[in-house]
Amino acid sequence: MDQNMLMKQFIEFQKTTVDNSFNAMKMIQEQTEKIARSFIDQASWLPEDGRKVVDQWVNAYKKGQEDYKKVVDDNFKKVEDYFSSFGKEKK
């Protein structure tokens, strides 16, 4: 089997693994957020500032997830492009 094709398959497998792991992590985060929001909605003793802090924390976490996903996807694209161009140069 061609080494270039083998590397492409390996990269595709790694990308799929990372995507699946990321999606699982995102689902857990969404469920945790739902539970936390339910708790906060029922916590009448929690001041409005406390609720705002939790909202900021959730938003920061979501932004971090999006930024991480973008960086990972961009880097997988770079690796895929590298091996695509490597295969063309070899021929």
Tens-digit pLDDT profile for residues 19-50: 999 999 999 999 999 998 898 889 888 898 98
Provide the whole-model pTM: 0.77
Calculate the average pLDDT of the chain: 89
**Residue 83 covered by a domain:** yes
**Residue 78 covered by a domain:** yes
Return d(Cα 1, Cα 3) in angstroms, integer: 6
**Residue 77 covered by a domain:** yes
Number of domains in the chain: 1
Contact (Cβ atoms closer than 8 angstroms) between residue 77 and residue 8: no
**Residue 54 covered by a domain:** yes
**Residue 34 covered by a domain:** no
Q: Is the pLDDT of residue 90 over 70?
A: no
**Residue 2 covered by a domain:** yes
Average pLDDT over residues 54-79: 94
Question: In terms of residue numbers, what domain contains 58?
Answer: 1-7+49-91
H helical segments located in the chain: 3-42, 48-90
